[in-house]
Structure 1
Amino acid sequence: MHTMVIEITLIIVRIAVGLAMYQGSSASSSNEDSVASIKIGKCCESNELIVDDRCTPIGEATHGEGLWRPTFTNEDGRRLNVQPKFEFKFGLPKCKNNERQWKIYNAPNPPNMDLLKILSSGKLRHCTQCNFDNTDWTADELAEDEQENAKNKRYYDYEFGTYCADKIILRKENISTFYARVCLPIKKHVMHTDTMMRRIIDPSFRAISVACYLFVAVVYFVLPQLKNLIGNIVTSLMLCLVTNHCAAMVRIFPEFGSHVSFLIADVVMYVSLMSAFFWLSSLGYYIWKTFRSRNIFLRSTDGKKYCYYSLYVWSLTAVIGTMAIFSHFMLDTNKPIIADTPDIPQETIGWLAVAVLFTPVAFSVIFNVWFVATTTNFIKRMNTYGRIHHKMKYSFRMFVFLFIIMGVAWSFTLLSWMRSELEYCSIVINLLQAILILYVCVFGQRRVTCLLRKTCNCCSPGEATQGLDWGEEMTAMNLG
Structure 2
Amino acid sequence: MNLWIVYFVLTTSVLHADVGEQDLNEISEEANAVILNKCCEKNEIMVDSICRLAELVNQTLWEPQFKTEEGKDVDVKYVRIVYGVPDCTTTQMRAIFQLGNSEDELNLLSDGRLQHLIHHEHSSDSVNEDPLMANTFGIHDSIVIPEEKEPTSFIHVQNKYCMEKFLMANTNKTGKYAMVCVPEVKINWKDTNFLMKKILNPLFHAIAMILFLLVAIIYFVLPTLRDLAGNIITTINVCLIVSQAADLVRIFTELSNHVSFMITDIILYISLLGAFFWLNSFGFYIWKTFKSRNVFLRVTDVRKYCYYSSVVWSSVTIMAAMAICAHFLLDTSTNPNRKTRTQFSSSILVDDIEQETIGWLGIAIFFTPVAFTIIFNIFFYVTTLKVIKRINIYGRIHHKLKGCFNLFLQLFLIMTTAWLFLLLSWLNFDGLVYAHIVVNILQAILIFYVCVVKQSHVTFLLRKSCCYAEPVPTGEWGDEMTHMNGGNY
* TM-score bucket (shorter structure): 0.7 to 0.9
Match of 1:122 among 108, 112, 116: 112
Cα distance in 2, alignment partners of residues 268 and 328 from structure 1 = 15
Q: CA deviation at 1:397?
A: 0.2
Report the equivalent of 1:90. 84
Q: Deviations over 1:135-164 (max 9, x none)?
A: xxxxxxxxxxxxxxxxxxx99865312333
In structure 2, the residue corresponding to 1:418 is in which secondary structure? coil
The more displaced of 332-341 and 313-322 is 332-341
Q: 2:74 aligns with which of 79, 83, 108?
A: 79
What one-letter code is carried by the residue in structure 2 that aligns with 1:41? N
Cα distance in 2 for residues equivalent to 1:384 and 1:108: 77
Distance 1:39 1:215 in 2: 57
Give yes or no for contact 2:161–2:178 (8 Å, CA) kept in 1: no
Q: Does the 8 Å contact 1:36/1:87 carry over to 2?
A: no
In structure 2, give the amino acid aligned to 1:122. G
Residues in 2 aligned to 1:78 and 1:338: alpha-carbon distance in whole angstroms: 28
CA gap of 1:44–1:284, structure 2 versus 1, over 3 A, is: farther
Give the C-alpha shift of residue 413 in structure 1: 1.3
Give the Å deviation of 1:71: 2.2
The 5-angstrom pairing of residues 71-470 of structure 1 reads 71-72=65-66, 79-80=74-75, 83-94=77-88, 116-119=107-110, 121-124=111-114, 158-167=156-165, 176-177=175-176, 181=180, 184-189=183-188, 191-258=190-257, 261-334=260-333, 346-420=355-429, 421-458=431-468
Helix, strand or coil at the partner of 1:324: helix
Give unmatched runs, 5+ long, in structure 2: 1-19, 120-151, 345-349, 471-478
Give the C-alpha shift of residue 326 in structure 1: 0.6
Give the Cα separation in 1 of the matches to 2:40 and 2:420.
40
TM-fit CA distance, 1:335 = 6.5
Deviation at 1:113, TM superposition (A): 10
> For 1:155 and 1:313, how far apart are their aligned partners in 2?
51
Secondary structure of the 1:122 match is coil
Is the Cα contact below 8 Å between 2:66 and 2:108 reproduced in 1?
Answer: yes
CA deviation string 1:377-408 (max 9, x = no partner): 00000010111001100010000000011111
Distance 1:262 1:158, change over 3 A: closer
Amino acid at match of 2:283: G
Letter of the 1:455 counterpart: S
Which amino acid in structure 1 is aligned with residue 451 of structure 2? C
Cα deviation, 1:330-366, whole Å, max 9, x if unaligned, reads: 1111478897699x96411100000001111111000
C-alpha distance in structure 2 between counterparts of 1:179 and 1:64, whole Å? 21
User: How far did residue 178 of structure 1 move?
Assistant: 6.5
Q: Tell me the number of residue pairs that the alignment of Structure 1 and Structure 2 aligns.
A: 409
Q: Tell me: higher relative CO, structure 1 or 2? Use CA pairs within 8 A at least 6 residues apart.
A: 2
Q: Report if the CA contact (8 A) 1:274-1:361 is conserved.
A: yes
More divergent stretch after superposition (41-50 vs 240-249): 41-50
Task: For 1:331, give the aligned amino acid.
Answer: L
Tell whether the 8 Å contact from 1:233 to 1:279 is kept in structure 2 after alignment. yes
Rounded Cα–Cα distance in structure 1 between residues aligned with 2:81 and 2:221: 63
TM-score after normalising by structure 1: 0.73
Contact 1:335–1:348 at 8 Å: present in 2 too?
Answer: no
For residues 390 and 456 of structure 1, the distance between their equivalents in structure 2, rounded to whole angstroms, comes to 26
Distance 1:126 1:310, change over 3 A: closer
User: Rg: which structure is higher?
Assistant: 1
Take 2:154 and 2:322, find their aligned partners in 1: how far apart are those partners?
49
CA distance in 1, matches of 2:299, 2:104: 75
Contact 1:107/1:115, CA 8 A, preserved across alignment: no
Identify if the C-alpha distance between structure 1 residues 396 and 417 changes in structure 2 by more than 3 Å, giving closer, same or farther. same
Per mean C-alpha deviation after superposition, the further-off stretch among 154-163 and 272-281 is 154-163
CA–CA separation in structure 1 for the residues paired with 2:93 and 2:85: 13
The equivalent of 2:136 in structure 1 is: none
Tell whether the 8 Å contact from 2:45 to 2:61 is kept in structure 1 after alignment: yes
Percent identity of paired positions between Structure 1 and Structure 2: 41
Q: Give 1:41 deviation, angstroms.
A: 2.5
Q: By how many angstroms is 1:59 displaced?
A: 8.8
Residues 39 and 89, structure 1, Cα contact 8 Å, conserved in 2: no
| In 2, Cα distance between equivalents of 1:323 and 1:85 | 51
SS at structure 2 position matched to 1:219 = helix
Q: Please, what is the CA RMSD of the aligned residues?
A: 4.3
